[in-house]
């Protein structure tokens, strides 16, 4: 299991680097898909089969297909070879240092629970469903309303643009 | 030993998929000839007359297969595909160009890993379940692989570096995304009525007459079957839903720029998809290896073989049915396709879901 984790972790890191370093947007999108699949693989090694399959369906399946769709329709060209400002370097460095500081703080205070590959007994579909519809029902419904609002909003925007043209 | 059994299972499942795909290829070629009142492939091997006496008994079989077109469609076409020039269009990377056919085949084969092909049996002291990945969320895994399958088409269309390819890929992606919604809702309806996501448990619960399509057991089963069948036909991108590869407008759609073995891989993926979809229909609605009036004894190897034969027979029936539909119906117009998906199938599947949930509550 540890070997599988290291292989998947390496895959995730390499493909995540690929997302930001590739010049062609569709290559970046492909790398992002590999990253998502790698995360699904890590879920699978933790015996969280439901999370793994949902990760593939929603992120690798639905969202990235839409991203590819947009890239194709907008016909994006290769990214121009821009040199980064010093400002961007500074912002990036500050972000990196903050991230490392926060994660190391988490490690040092041992706020992270060690992985014991026991998610299989907890993260079953029945358990997740039960918790989702009892304890977290408000958050669940709120997320549903939020997504509904986004859908309605996008339709309204699309319709209004069409009406203006006519 | 455990790993050896697992590898053996994976190998056997792969052979089953390839066998089903080959069968579909042959039925497509010879069956289309039958439907269109042609003769079809019947030359290769049909006139073989060996000099040696020893080869005569083999020659009888070869000639029968040749006349039936088996040698032409399965052997000769594959060899032809292997020896053709592997053409990569200018301006695309070779790696990405290869990725398209690969991604068209891979998800279909992976999806077969969760389908139990026969009942459990014990052999040499080992308890064997003929299912490669014993996932508790098998239904969702099949859906996940269905959503991954879009990439094969999208990549092929984009890295074909051809306008026709791109148009075909866009059509295919739009079609698959549109019909995936109704597919998901229909599958959710089935999960409500079966109460489990495990494909093996779903088949086990359909003993005797309790097939999923039986209205006495599953009142909305017939409606769900119709929805799932139409959606599945659309997901396999074959006529009457073959707008992505419509020959009369787009040359060949998303695989226009592929030749030789890569092109054959697309066909392999398509036929494996038909087989996968038939297998899903059989698992959900026609009881897998369960037959009325037939009680298979548990944990016996010959019962597993018999169950496998029944399962395969049902799958072959649906493969042939789909091919007959493909060669009978004309193509949809694009707006008809979208109307069917969004305005008819999706609301129908939602109503079906609510009704099923209400029945389950009562």
DSSP labels, B48-70: ---SSSTTHHHHHHHHHHHHHTH
Closest Cβ–Cβ partner in B99, B144, B177 for A53 = B144
Candidates A65, A67, A70, partner chain B, best to mutate (most B CBs within 10 A): A65
Q: Which residue has the tokens 């599953």?
A: B218
Q: Between A and B, how many CB-CB pairs are < 8 A?
A: 66
Chain B residues contacting A, CB < 8 Å?
Answer: 96, 99, 135-137, 140-141, 143-148, 150-151, 154-155, 157-158, 166, 169-170, 173-174, 177, 180, 197
- From chain B, pick out residues whose CB is under 8 angstroms from the CB of A124: 136
Rounded Cα distance, B138 and B144, in Å: 10
Rounded Cα distance, B169 and B254, in Å: 5
Do the Cβ atoms of A49 and B96 come within 8 Å? Answer: no
* pLDDT given for residue A83 in this prediction: 65
Q: Which residue of A has its CA nearest to B191?
A: A125
Torsion of CA A60, A63, A64, A70, to 10 degrees: 170
* pLDDT given for residue B40 in this prediction: 78
- From chain A, pick out residues whose CB is under 8 angstroms from the CB of B172: none
* pLDDT given for residue B362 in this prediction: 80
Two tokens, residue B160:
């074909």
ipTM: 0.76
| Beta carbons of B265 and B102 less than 8 angstroms apart | yes
Rounded Cα distance, A127 and A121, in Å: 9
* pLDDT given for residue B351 in this prediction: 92
Rounded Cα distance, B124 and B127, in Å: 9
Rounded Cα distance, A27 and A68, in Å: 10
DSSP state of A63: I
Q: What sign for the dihedral angle of Cα B202, B207, B212, B217?
A: negative
Percent of chain A residues past pLDDT 90, beyond the cut:
17
- Ramachandran sector of residue B354 (left: φ over 0; alpha: ψ -120 to 50; beta: rest): alpha
Q: Which residue of B has its CA nearest to A124?
A: B136
Mean pLDDT, contiguous 10-residue spans, chain A (166 residues): 84 90 82 90 82 86 82 67 73 91 80 60 75 88 93 85 55
In sequence order, what are the beta bridge partners of B123? B126
**Which residues contact residue B83 at a Cβ distance below 8 angstroms, ignoring those fewer than 6 apart?**
B260
- Ramachandran sector of residue B293 (left: φ over 0; alpha: ψ -120 to 50; beta: rest): left
Closest Cβ–Cβ partner in B99, B141, B177 for A65 = B177
* pLDDT given for residue B289 in this prediction: 83
Please choose, from the candidates B113, B116, B29, B25, the residue with its C-alpha nearest in 3D space to the C-alpha of residue B310: B116
Rounded Cα distance, B10 and B133, in Å: 9
Cβ atoms within 10 A of the Cβ of A97, count? 10
Coil, helix or strand at residue B258: coil
Which spans in chain A are helix H?
2-21, 25-45, 49-55, 64-74, 86-108, 119-122, 125-134, 137-165
- Taking the model in full, what pTM does it have? 0.84
Cβ atoms within 10 A of the Cβ of A87, count? 8
**Which residues contact residue B156 at a Cβ distance below 8 angstroms, ignoring those fewer than 6 apart?**
B100, B101, B104, B165, B169, B254, B255, B257, B258, B266
Q: Which residue has the tokens 């709120």?
A: A142
Q: What sign for the dihedral angle of Cα B24, B282, B100, B331?
A: positive
**Cα-atom radius of gyration of chain A, to the nearest Å?**
20
Rounded Cα distance, A66 and A70, in Å: 6
* pLDDT given for residue A12 in this prediction: 92
* pLDDT given for residue B158 in this prediction: 81
Do the Cβ atoms of A57 and B136 come within 8 Å? Answer: no
In sequence order, what are the beta bridge partners of B287? none
* pLDDT given for residue A97 in this prediction: 93
Taking 50 as the pLDDT cut, the residues of chain B under it are none
Torsion of CA B28, B34, B35, B40, to 10 degrees: 60
Closest Cβ–Cβ partner in A61, A65, A125 for B137 = A125
| Beta carbons of B101 and B269 less than 8 angstroms apart | yes
């Amino acid at each position: 299991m540890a070997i599988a984790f290291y292989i998947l972790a390496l895959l995730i890191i390499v493909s995540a680097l690929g997302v930001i370093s590739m010049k062609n947007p569709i290559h970046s999108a492909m790398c992002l898909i590999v990253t998502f699949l790698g995360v699904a693989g890590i879920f699978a090694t933790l015996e969280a089969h439901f999370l793994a399959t949902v990760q593939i369906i929603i992120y690798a399946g639905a969202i990235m297909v839409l991203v590819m769709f947009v890239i194709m329709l907008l016909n994006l060209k290769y990214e121009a070879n821009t040199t980064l400002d010093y400002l961007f370097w500074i912002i990036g460095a500050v972000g990196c240092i903050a991230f490392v500081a926060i994660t190391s703080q988490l490690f040092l205070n041992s706020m992270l629970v060690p992985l014991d590959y026991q998610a299989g007994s907890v993260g079953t579909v029945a358990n997740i469903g039960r918790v989702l519809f009892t304890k977290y029902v408000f958050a669940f419904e709120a997320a549903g309303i939020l997504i509904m609002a986004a859908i309605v909003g996008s339709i309204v925007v699309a319709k209004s643009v069409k009406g203006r043209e006519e | 030993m455990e790993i050896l059994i697992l590898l053996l299972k994976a190998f056997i499942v792969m052979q089953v998929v390839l066998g089903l795909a080959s069968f579909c290829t042959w039925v497509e070629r010879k069956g289309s000839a039958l439907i269109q009142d042609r003769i079809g492939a019947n030359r290769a091997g049909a006139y073989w007359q060996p000099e040696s006496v020893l080869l005569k008994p083999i020659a009888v079989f070869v000639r029968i297969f040749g006349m039936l077109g088996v040698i032409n469609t399965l052997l000769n076409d594959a060899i032809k595909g292997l020896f053709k020039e592997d053409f990569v269009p200018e301006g695309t990377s070779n790696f990405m160009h290869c990725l398209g056919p690969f991604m068209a085949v891979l998800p279909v084969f992976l999806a077969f890993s969760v389908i139990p092909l026969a009942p459990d049996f014990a052999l040499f002291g080992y308890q064997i379940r003929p299912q490669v990945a014993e996932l508790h969320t098998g239904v969702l895994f099949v859906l996940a692989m269905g959503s991954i399958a879009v990439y094969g088409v999208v990549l092929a269309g984009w890295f074909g570096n051809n306008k026709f390819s791109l148009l075909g890929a866009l059509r295919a992606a739009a079609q698959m995304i549109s019909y995936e919604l109704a597919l998901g809702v229909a599958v959710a309806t089935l999960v409500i009525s079966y109460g489990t996501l495990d494909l093996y448990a779903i088949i086990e619960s359909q003993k005797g007459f309790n097939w999923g399509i039986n209205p006495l057991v599953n009142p909305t089963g017939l409606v769900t079957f119709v929805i799932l069948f139409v959606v599945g036909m659309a997901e396999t991108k074959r006529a009457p839903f073959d707008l992505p590869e419509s020959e009369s407008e787009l040359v060949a759609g998303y695989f226009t720029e592929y030749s030789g073995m890569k092109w054959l891989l697309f066909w392999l993926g398509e036929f494996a998809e038909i087989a996968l979809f038939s297998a899903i229909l059989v698992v959900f609605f026609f009881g897998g290896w369960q037959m009325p009036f037939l009680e298979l004894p548990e944990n016996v190897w010959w019962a597993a073989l018999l169950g496998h034969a029944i399962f395969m027979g049902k799958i072959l029936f649906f493969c042939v049915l789909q091919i007959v539909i493909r060669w009978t119906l004309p193509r949809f117009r694009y707006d008809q396709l979208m109307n069917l998906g969004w305005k008819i199938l999706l609301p129908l599947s939602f109503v079906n879901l609510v009704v099923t949930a209400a029945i389950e509550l009562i």
